[in-house]
Amino acid sequence: MNLYNFLLEHSQDNPDKPYCYTHEETITYGQLCQRAEQLAGQLCGDPQLAQTSLVAVSSDDNFLLLHLVWACLRAGICLAFLPASSDSAELKKLMSQIGATVLLTDRPNLQPAPWIKNIHLTTHVKIAGAQSHSLPPLPTVPSAPAFIFQTSGTTGTAKWVQVTQAQYVLAIKQMQLSGGLDHASNQVVYNTLPLSHSYGLSSLLEYTACGATIMLPQATSSLGAVGTLLAPKMATRITAIEGVSHFYSQMVRLLGRIHLPNLRHIGFGGGAIQHSLIDRLQQVFPTLTYSIRYGLTETPSVVTHKRFAPPYTDDWNASGRVLPIYTLKIVDQTGQCVPDGEEGEILIKGACLAWPYYGEPASNDFFATGDIGYLNSQQELCLIGRKSSFLKIHGYRISPAYIESLIDSFDAVLASRVSAENDLISAEIIPAFPTATPQAIQAYLTDKLPNYAIPTTLHFVEKIPRTASGKIKRLC
């Protein structure tokens, strides 16, 4: 089965059902399918593109990427996501690593070059200079690569993850069978992640498979993804949200200005969640269902998924049981499996694991995720944090994410980043109010952390560096 069938089947059964809401228009399943067919025809009709089964894209316009995702699936072309950059030399270098010869982009400042094709989105998507071409039958090669993502992997060195059609289809079907998508039908979901990110794309495909309506963040918003929640026309339509902790941290700061009368579900991904953040959301939305997912760039969809419903008696540390398509084990520093309840590094393997990386020889080994966690008594995975980010202070191993969650729970703090050097912990903090003081924050932490874990130095900053998915960029 081709992933395009997820869109095609719903466009045939419910052509007039809204598929995507934007600030300017509503696009139905039938309309999006028609646009994808037209763009796929341009991809197949362009002389340069017709000679390749791989095309790269550089754009931060999620609406444009939405069209390209479905058009490339229809045309049987693998889509490689590159950073939204205006540095043509860097983009050319990245393309050479995966053998891509054509770049589609809407970046205005790129120097013209024969390998660059401008793509524009107005009332339809148009590739400059391309002529439409009749389309062949829908490709049905399960092993064909569908998408390529760049990741830092577990080493910090950039790698390329190539995911096939079959891996996506199997992963999403398994999610449906396990009940992991029971909440997704008939939702209007605000997918806050960029589609160039694996979580953002997986979420798009999952909700499309369930016939949901999609809403995407605007690249032009000065407030980022949270800005859409301040537009009443959009906010009143939203019934579900998918995002990472950083997005929800921004959201709770604006709850006094946000009106979400139809919100029914909140989905978390992208790492361990902050309990203080859950508490704040539940105070405002006490009847919602919540879900926590654990996945990697190297895994289409998720490895584990868990849904929480009132009265919320389950363990919020748990992200659910491992899907049957994966095998998971927790190991200590010597590589030996640890008992349930004991933390260690998470290792996985399975048919849907998109690893080894692009260009590397095949392997049947377990993949070391670089994540630390444990299995609870119900065999549910509990995530603690990244192996590489833990701090060693006076012989104690400390999670900076845990300290940050406590700092961020203080009303006078918007966000923080914790690091350590020479057995001393420091914290960069974005204050919420001009009256905030380091002394008040340290006093707040006194009852919540042992002395050795309280930052000795606090610096107020205007910005904390983050990745495209909202994760904090750690200091080396």
DSSP conformational letter for 471: P
Encoded amino acid at 237, one letter: R
Of all residues in the chain, what percent carry a pLDDT higher than 70?
96
Using CA atoms, how far residue 168 sits from 1, 171, 215, 386, 394, in Å, is: 10, 5, 21, 25, 45
User: Cα(148)–Cα(155) distance, rounded to whole angstroms?
Assistant: 19
Peptide bond into 356 cis (omega under 30): yes
Return the pLDDT at 222.
Answer: 56
**C-alpha triplet 175, 27, 186: angle, nearest 5°:** 35
Q: State mean pLDDT over 144-154.
A: 81
- Indicate the helix (H) or strand (E) that contains 412: none
Q: State mean pLDDT over 274-283.
A: 85
Domain presence at residue 301: no
User: Cα(245)–Cα(466) distance, rounded to whole angstroms?
Assistant: 12
For residue 37, the domain's CATH number is 3.40.50.980
Return the pLDDT at 398.
Answer: 83
- pLDDT one-digit tens code per residue, 45-93: 888 887 889 999 999 999 999 999 999 999 999 999 999 888 999 999 9
Return the pLDDT at 365.
Answer: 93
How many domains in the chain? Answer: 2
Domain presence at residue 70: yes
Using CA atoms, how far residue 440 sits from 320, 426, 446, 461, 468, in Å, is: 37, 15, 10, 16, 32
Alpha carbon 433 to chain centroid distance? 30
Domain presence at residue 201: no
Q: Of 140, 170, 198, at which residue does a domain stop?
A: 140
Q: What is the largest CA-CA distance in the chain?
A: 69
| Cut 0.85: pTM above it | yes
Positive or negative, the CA dihedral 424, 425, 426, 432 is negative
Q: Which residues contact 232 (CB under 8 A, 6 or more apart)?
A: 259
CB 260 within 8 A of CB 288: no
Q: Of 121, 140, 159, at which residue does a domain stop?
A: 140
Domain presence at residue 155: no
- pLDDT one-digit tens code per residue, 225-247: 999 999 999 999 999 999 998 89
Domain presence at residue 427: yes
User: Cα(318)–Cα(373) distance, rounded to whole angstroms?
Assistant: 10
Q: Map residue 312 onto helix, strand or coil.
A: coil
- Indicate the helix (H) or strand (E) that contains 305: strand 304-308
> Which range has the worst mean pLDDT, 60-64, 93-97, 154-158, 331-335?
154-158
Half-sphere exposure at residue 196, Cβ-oriented, CA atoms within 13 angstroms = 24
Domain presence at residue 30: yes
- Show the tokens assigned to 70: 């479905």
Residue 28, domain extent? 1-140
User: Cα(194)–Cα(270) distance, rounded to whole angstroms?
Assistant: 13
Q: Of 140, 163, 190, at which residue does a domain stop?
A: 140
CB 415 within 8 A of CB 387: no
Domain presence at residue 88: yes
Domain presence at residue 349: no
Half-sphere exposure at residue 23, Cβ-oriented, CA atoms within 13 angstroms = 12
For residue 408, the domain's CATH number is 3.30.300.30
* pLDDT band of 154, cuts 50, 70, 90: very low
